């Protein structure tokens, strides 16, 4: 079985989606020939089929992609992400009634649809609506994303399969008695991540944070100039010494951030299934997150402190975190690690996706797939 995985960008600027695509492709059983196609960028690597990005970056036209897909004699194509050229290339490939799967990765969430609304309406009218409706199966990362798909009027079969994460082997003890502790945010710097509210919340708890030795580290790459806005707010609130902007972190630098952190926070307004929370749990970190992160297992198992994405709610969650002792925080992180070990490892996730592909190509339907009645 030869599968083509399509993504707009391969490399660091592909964020969590490209990490998921890379690891999915390399986790399938040996009988699956999974080939990844995407736009070339820094860190793309040579093991994938990359194409130069032409024209506006927001569309990501990849000259040669359609011709390559046709020549590779694929059995099935799997598009990751929406609104960009891979959707068009997939539609062209499917013109001979060949099946494909679409993973929106949270891009049909209500907040995401409101963001750049008119551009998405135009893209929907031109190609994306046909791309979504024509899929043999849609892939949701969780039940909330599947509900968003149904609210959009999509009646396709939907498989619900989460992303996975790799488990680091050398994880430091979290009951370390440190006098200085770091609360880490790591990801792209974008308004939907709730970072302005986090900065405002930090101003509300600055006394408790200072007394208990906590510093906030915001690590990640800038999008649409959001970093300068955050730094301006930080300066205005007098928090320059209490909040550190660490810049983009990848590879060993990213691992070092998780290793040195004492807790992780994601006050997001909208997510599919955030890889960074799974990674934080893999590093045994206690997590502070919003329901919009769409990992209800975190609340259900006691692996997370739940907050809303308003400053006062974030501040309340931070006060809970600060008031805990090391062993209490370590227990939350350990529950997160156990959750990842049980439900979010790549080999089992790739096996579930493999079953979906085989069903589309003629095998029996797996229990991960919901059929619209």
Q: In the chain, pLDDT over 90 holds for what percent of residues?
A: 76
Residues 221 and 154 in one domain: no
Note the pLDDT of residue 44. Answer: 45
Residue range 186-211: mean pLDDT, rounded: 95
- pLDDT reading at 149 higher than 80: yes
Q: Which of 63, 95, 60, 62 is nearest to 77 (CA)?
A: 95
Residue range 59-84: mean pLDDT, rounded: 94
Residues 47 and 186 in one domain: no
Per-residue pLDDT band for 175 (boundaries 50, 70, 90) equals low
User: Does residue 172 form part of some domain?
Assistant: no
User: Does residue 143 form part of some domain?
Assistant: yes
User: Does residue 174 form part of some domain?
Assistant: no
Per-residue pLDDT band for 43 (boundaries 50, 70, 90) equals very low
- pLDDT reading at 42 higher than 70: no
User: Does residue 170 form part of some domain?
Assistant: no
Please provide the average confidence, as pLDDT, over all residues in the chain.
Answer: 91
Residues 28 and 94 in one domain: yes
H-run or E-run covering 279: helix 275-282
How far apart (Å, rounded) are the C-alpha atoms in residues 209 and 181?
Answer: 9
Note the pLDDT of residue 262. Answer: 95
Give me the CATH number covering residue 188: 3.40.50.2000
Residue range 129-153: mean pLDDT, rounded: 95
- pLDDT reading at 350 higher than 80: yes
How far apart (Å, rounded) are the C-alpha atoms in residues 352 and 161?
Answer: 7
User: Does residue 90 form part of some domain?
Assistant: yes
Per-residue pLDDT band for 141 (boundaries 50, 70, 90) equals very high
Q: In the chain, pLDDT over 70 holds for what percent of residues?
A: 95
Residues 351 and 332 in one domain: no
Residues 207 and 257 in one domain: yes
Residues 287 and 363 in one domain: no
- pLDDT reading at 327 higher than 70: yes
What is the residue range of 127's domain? 2-164+345-370
Residues 358 and 300 in one domain: no
Residues 230 and 290 in one domain: yes
pLDDT digits (tens, 9 = 90+) for 243-295: 999 999 988 899 999 999 999 999 999 888 888 999 999 999 999 999 999 99
User: Does residue 50 form part of some domain?
Assistant: yes
Residues 215 and 197 in one domain: yes
User: Does residue 171 form part of some domain?
Assistant: no
Residues 21 and 154 in one domain: yes
User: Does residue 173 form part of some domain?
Assistant: no
In the chain, the number of structural domains is: 2
Residue range 191-218: mean pLDDT, rounded: 95
Residues 10 and 122 in one domain: yes
The DSSP string of 103-157 is: E-TTTTSHHHHHTTHHHHHHHIIIIIHHHHHT-SEEEESSHHHHHHHHHTT--S-
Residues 297 and 357 in one domain: no
């Amino acid at each position: 079985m030869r599968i083509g995985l399509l993504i707009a960008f391969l490399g660091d600027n592909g964020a969590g989606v490209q990490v998921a695509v890379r690891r999915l492709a390399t986790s399938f059983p040996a009988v699956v020939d999974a080939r990844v196609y995407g736009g070339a960028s820094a860190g793309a690597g040579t093991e994938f089929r990359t194409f130069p990005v032409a024209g506006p970056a927001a569309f990501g036209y990849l000259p040669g992609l359609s011709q390559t897909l046709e020549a590779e004699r694929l059995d099935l194509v799997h598009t990751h992400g929406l609104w960009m050229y891979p959707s068009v290339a997939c539609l062209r490939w499917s013109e001979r009634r060949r099946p494909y799967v679409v993973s929106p990765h949270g891009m049909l969430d209500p907040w995401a649809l409101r963001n750049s609304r008119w551009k998405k309406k135009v893209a929907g009218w031109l190609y994306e609506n046909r791309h979504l409706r024509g899929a043999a199966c849609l892939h949701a990362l969780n039940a909330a994303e599947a509900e968003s798909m149904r609210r959009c009027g999509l009646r396709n079969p939907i498989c619900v399969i989460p992303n996975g994460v790799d488990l680091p082997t050398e994880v430091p003890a979290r009951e370390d008695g440190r006098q200085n502790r770091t609360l880490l945010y790591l990801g792209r710097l974008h308004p939907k991540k709730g970072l302005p509210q986090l900065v405002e919340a930090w101003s509300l708890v600055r006394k408790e944070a200072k007394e208990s030795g906590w510093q906030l580290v915001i690590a990640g790459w800038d999008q649409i100039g959001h970093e300068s806005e955050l730094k301006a707010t930080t300066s205005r609130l007098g928090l320059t010494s209490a909040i550190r902007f660490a810049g983009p972190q990848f590879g060993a630098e990213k691992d070092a951030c998780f290793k040195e952190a004492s807790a992780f926070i994601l006050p997001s307004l909208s997510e599919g299934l955030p890889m960074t929370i799974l990674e934080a749990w893999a590093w045994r970190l206690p997590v502070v997150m919003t329901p919009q992160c769409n990992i209800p297992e975190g609340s259900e198992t006691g692996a997370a402190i739940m907050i809303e994405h308003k400053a006062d709610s974030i501040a309340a969650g931070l006060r809970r975190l600060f008031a805990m002792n090391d062993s209490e925080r370590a227990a939350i992180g350990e529950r997160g690690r156990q959750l990842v070990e049980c439900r979010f490892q790549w080999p089992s996730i790739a096996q579930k996706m493999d079953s979906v592909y085989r069903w589309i190509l003629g095998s029996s339907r797996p229990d991960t797939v919901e059929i619209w009645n």
